[in-house]
Amino acid sequence: MKALAGFAAGLLFGLGLIISGMSDPAKVLNFLDIFGEWDPSLAFVMGGATVTTYIGYRLAWRSAKPALMPDFDIPTRQDIDRPLLTGAALFGIGWGIGGFCPGPAWTALAMGAPGTLVFIATMLAGIALGRRL
């Protein structure tokens, strides 16, 4: 049941990335290219996703616990520390070079572009490395 629900949620997320255009690195890079070929579409992706999540979270939190797990496990940290800023900056640079963040990279895997395969391999290595820093 958990696996089936997880798969359905991942599929929905992936279809959202595709329909929104965020699965296409060209569209992402054009969104980031404010002084050039600017395509503001991705602001609508972030807006639609965040507002939906804001409302839905508050409905979900009315339950004492999630449907398939014993408890909610939500990040509690509020401090702004150096790893947060350094990590976000490095992520931003990588995002600006390749046009992929992690979700769209996974969604692109089955299309098998050589750039995607290389990106996912080094991203996984980077995650393993970053967790040790």
Q: Quick one: CA dihedral 36, 115, 13, 55, positive or negative?
A: negative
Asked whether position 110 contacts other proteins by CB under 8 A, the answer is yes
Reading the block at residue 16, the tokens are 């959202």
Q: How far is the CB of 61 from other proteins (least distance, A)?
A: 8
Within 10-29, which residues bind other proteins (CB under 8 A)? 10-27, 29
Total residues at interface with other proteins (CB under 8 A) = 116
Distances (CA, A) of 94 to 24, 69, 102: 15, 34, 11
- Residue ranges of alpha helices (H) inside 1-133 are 2-20, 25-32, 41-60, 82-98, 102-108, 114-130
In angstroms, what is the minimal distance from the CB of 12 to other proteins?
Answer: 4
- Residue 23: name the closest of 43, 42, 9 by CA: 42
**Range 32-91, binding other proteins (CB under 8 A):** 32-37, 39-42, 44-54, 56-57, 59-61, 63, 65-69, 71-75, 77-80, 83-91
Q: To the nearest whole angstrom, how small is the minimum distance from the Cβ of residue 67 to other proteins? A: 5
Q: How far is the CB of 126 from other proteins (least distance, A)?
A: 2
